[in-house]
Chains A and B, each alone.
Chain A
């Protein structure tokens, strides 16, 4: 593939989003990045969306729709924050704890899935209920607060979010693109039955996938918790909402993934969404309007994605 075509494929969407939001914000008389806080907000959004997108897509690409990822983020951050407060641990250890606990809870979700052998959507629903209930029971429903802990609530910064983004992305690329596990994952993804027949062990591969998705969600839970200094409880599937924001960046990532590593595609999808999110903030867009714009963007992009050839033919005919 020609380099120009590749670069065009990689950067068209984020660049187009940037141009549109800059243009609209200029019309509105608002600077997109006016303060340091805007940069922090943007990077937080990118980190959050990228982590959830990667966590969702790891399993969804393999046809496993896991509803429990939001509850893994909640539970791992609750426990890591509780331990960190109790033993006055530094923020880096809390992040590490959150990631490790996320991996453990993700792994447990996977373990239940491979044991009961039910469709992942069902296991995901049950585990979401279970983890939400456990988080509630652990904190007595009160959640966790560490607003006094200046180190923990001082975490949000462009540098720290960038470090998380780079570390998570590097780890995921390394694991999925440069290890035997990653090759097996791709084989299972494209031909489950054939892969199993040639001796690829599906169960350990699946468990590792769930573990990695959980670790990513642990990091996401940590980011959410340190943003406000409090973790509030949720029940009755309240945790699954986080997942819905990851669909558009996931599809954008999939599209960009044709031209570059698909994980970097997810990052660029998250960057695009981060820009849209910042535009909502800076232009003070009403919540209901936001919901409609986001839904329309998702539908329009999907229409384009699923009818790309038709669009190309139309363009050719036009010429």
Chain B
């Protein structure tokens, strides 16, 4: 009897394992590459180092590895430009749109889903309200990129790095703060929050995340003392006229200035700060111009996006187009944050740059991305969250 019971149990277990195996085999995603998939890419800035590096990764690596064809928008300056570009993609039978442009994301999602085209956000995130409205939309693939808290932390870490070195006199280049660009405001707020923490003071009576509201109120950063740290200069905007360059030069040559913290591309200060002994920190991408600046000692700290960081969102989009959307247990779209690679020396920069600029063995290779095809939300999230250089190299 006992023998029979054991045999029955064994057979039942074997049958269950077999059934599970069959189920898994039946659901194992298959990457059918017989048909070329056209994907439109919305770009608001076609000439920035970051946008060019992303484009090179898609066109010179991904396009060679998968049967996909990327179609790029012209430089987009407003939401009407975004709508026109999406119309162009739809007319050209694109199956999906990956957006690096953020003038009106809800409108982009509505336009794409209305036409049955998948839509994904690269190097950015939706606001909480936007995500709530879009998360169950079957055509919304999701967003992967630095969220605003990551931007805040990036600014904080940047300032903290120099504060820990004993620097006390800072200048801030505010980039698009006068135009109320969220990520620039959050980065600047992070910088000021670090100064408040280390300098034991406050910025306009605010500390920590309260500083964000203060910058929104003014559309600028106010100079002055923050405890025993001081913001000795500030320039915002991208006017690129004589007065603006004059202001940049004046800021770089402020007496006693030790560090210029740029919320975006700080390359306009390279010439002005040269020979002044001023250190520069920037947030941008791993580009050739920064390599030179790092080697020359003109640039001392870079929080940069790596070009392959847009690999996972491509795979999520590709997977959705092929019928394997990546969703959480409630059926919600991806919402994952991804940070920057931080280089504080030429050596580190060059190590990162070598991988980032490689078209044979980039940070995210085909083998790594293939593992994400039709994967579970958790596996996908775990993969994306390991974004530091060492973590990614460890996955290879």
Could you list which residues of chain A lie within 8 angstroms of chain B, going by C-beta atoms? 35, 37-38, 40-41, 44-45, 48-49, 136, 140-143, 145-148, 150, 153-154, 156, 226-230, 232-236, 241, 245, 274, 277-278, 280-282, 284-285, 287, 290
Q: With CB as the reference atom, state the residue of chain A lying closest to B269.
A: A228
On chain A, the residues within 8 Å of B253 by CB distance are 35, 37
Known: A145-B292, A281-B246. A228 touches B268 (CB 8 A): yes
Considering the chains assembled together, what is the distance between the CA atoms of A153 and B292 in angstroms?
Answer: 13
User: B49 on the interface (CB 8 Å rule)?
Assistant: yes
Knowing A154-B274, A235-B46, A281-B246 touch, does A142 contact B292 (C-beta < 8 A)? no
Asked if A153 meets B271 with Cβ closer than 8 Å, knowing A147-B293, A280-B243, the reply is yes
Q: What is the CA–CA distance of A38 and B244 in the complex, to the nearest angstrom?
A: 13
Contact among B245, B289, B293 with A142 in the assembled complex (CB-CB below 8 Å): B289
Q: Let me know if A236 and B242 touch, CB within 8 A.
A: no
Q: How far is the CA of A140 from the CA of B240 in the complex (A)?
A: 22
Does B317 sit within 8 A of A, measured CB to CB? no
Contacts of A236 in B (CB 8 A): 74-75
Q: Verify if B272 is at the interface (C-beta below 8 Å from A).
A: yes
Does B157 reach chain A (CB closer than 8 Å)? no
The reply to whether A136 and B47 form a contact with Cβ atoms under 8 Å apart is: yes
C-alpha spacing A140/B52, complex, angstroms: 9
Nearest residue, chain B, Cβ from A224: B245
* A229, B270: Cβ atoms closer than 8 Å: yes
Partner of A147, one of B241, B242, B250, B296: B296
Q: Pick the residue among B242, B268, B272, B275 that contacts A245 (CB under 8 A).
A: B242
B residues 223-271 with Cβ under 8 Å of A? 237, 239-247, 249-250, 253, 267-271
How far is it, in angstroms, between the C-alpha of A48 and the C-alpha of B246 when the chains are bound?
A: 12
Q: Kindly provide the distance from the CB of B207 to the nearest chain A CB, expressed in whole angstroms.
A: 26
What is the CB-to-nearest-CB distance from B249 to chain A, in angstroms, rounded to a whole number? 5
A48 to chain B: which residues have CB within 8 Å? 242
**Sample (26) of A-B pairs whose CB atoms are under 8 Å apart:** A37-B249, A37-B250, A41-B242, A41-B246, A45-B242, A45-B243, A142-B52, A143-B289, A145-B289, A146-B292, A147-B289, A147-B293, A147-B298, A228-B245, A228-B267, A228-B269, A229-B271, A230-B268, A230-B289, A234-B47, A235-B46, A235-B75, A236-B75, A245-B242, A282-B250, A284-B247
Which chain B residues lie closer than 8 Å to A143 at the CB level?
Answer: 47, 289
| Residue B288, interface by CB 8 Å | yes
**B287 contacts the other chain (CB 8 A):** yes
The listed residue (A45, A146, A228, A241) touching B246 by CB distance below 8 A is A45
B201 lies within 8 A of chain A by Cβ? no
Residue tally, chain B, CB below 8 Å to A: 36
Contact A148 B295 (CB under 8 A): yes
B110 to chain A: closest CB distance in Å? 27
Residues of A within 8 A of B268 (CB): 228, 230
Q: Are B246 and A147 in contact (CB under 8 A)?
A: no
A290 and B241 CA atoms in complex are apart in Å by 11
Q: Which residues of A contact B241 (CB under 8 A)?
A: 245, 277
Do the beta carbons of A228 and B242 come within 8 Å of each other?
Answer: no
Cα-based distance from A53 to B363 in the complex (angstroms): 49
> Which residues of chain B in 288-321 are interfacial with respect to chain A, using CB atoms and an 8 Å cutoff?
288-289, 292-293, 295-296, 298
> Taking the nearest CB of chain A, how far is it from the CB of B359, in angstroms?
13
Docked-complex contact B49 and A142, CB < 8 angstroms: yes
B residues near A, CB below 8 A?
A: 46-47, 49, 52, 74-75, 178, 237, 239-247, 249-250, 253, 267-272, 274-275, 287-289, 292-293, 295-296, 298
- A41: chain B residues within 8 A (beta carbon): 242, 245-246, 249-250
Complex alpha-carbon distance, A35 and B246, angstroms? 12
- What separation, in Å, do the CA atoms of A44 and B244 have in the docked complex? 12
Q: Which of B47, B243, B249, B288 contacts A233 (CB 8 A)?
A: B47
Question: Given A41-B250, A280-B246, A290-B243: A228 and B270 within 8 A (CB)?
Answer: yes
In order of increasing CB-CB distance, the 4 nearest A-B pairs are A145-B289, A281-B246, A280-B243, A45-B242
Quick one: which of A35, A40, A229, A280 contacts B274, CB cutoff 8 A? A229
Bound-complex Cα distance A299 to B243 (A): 20
**What 20 additional pairs, Cβ within 8 angstroms, besides A147-B274, A228-B267, A232-B47?**
A37-B250, A38-B250, A41-B242, A44-B246, A136-B47, A141-B46, A142-B52, A143-B289, A145-B288, A145-B289, A150-B274, A156-B271, A228-B268, A229-B271, A230-B271, A235-B75, A236-B74, A245-B242, A285-B243, A287-B178
Hey, which chain A residues are within 8 Å of B275, CB to CB? 154
A147:B52 contact, CB within 8 angstroms = no
Query: Could you tell me the distance between the alpha carbons of A249 and B275 in the complex, rounded to whole angstroms?
Result: 33
Q: Are A147 and B46 in contact (CB under 8 A)?
A: no
Q: Which residue of B lies closest to A279 (CB)?
A: B243
**Bound state CA distance, A286 and B169, in angstroms?**
23
B246 contacts A278, C-beta separation under 8 Å: yes
Flag if A40 contacts B249 (CB, 8 Å). Answer: yes
Nearest opposing residue in chain B for A231, CB measure: B289
Evaluate whether A227 and B245 lie within 8 angstroms (CB atoms) in the complex, with A233-B47, A234-B47 already known: yes
Residues of chain B within 8 A (CB-CB) of A35 are 250, 253
Residues of A close to B245: CB separation below 8 A: 41, 44, 227-228
Shortest distance in angstroms between A87's beta carbon and chain B's nearest beta carbon? 17
What are the residues of chain B within 8 A of A38 when measuring CB–CB? 250
Report the separation of the CA atoms of residues A146 and B291 in the bound assembly, to the nearest whole angstrom: 11
Smallest CB gap from B287: residue in A: A142
Report yes or no: B249 in contact with A147, Cβ–Cβ below 8 A: no
- Given A143-B47, A148-B292: A277 and B75 interface contact (C-beta under 8 Å): no
- With a cutoff of 8 Å between Cβ atoms, the chain A residues found around residue B292 in the complex are 145-148
Instruction: List residues of chain B with CB within 8 A of the CB of A49.
Output: 242
**Contact between B296 and A148 (Cβ–Cβ < 8 Å)?**
yes
Residues of A within 8 A of B75 (CB): 235-236
Q: How far is the CA of A274 from the CA of B245 in the complex (A)?
A: 12
Distance of A75 Cα from B267 Cα, bound (Å): 20
Contacts of B298 in A (CB 8 A): 147-148, 229
Nearest residue (CB) in B for A225 is: B271
A221 shortest CB reach to chain B, Å: 13
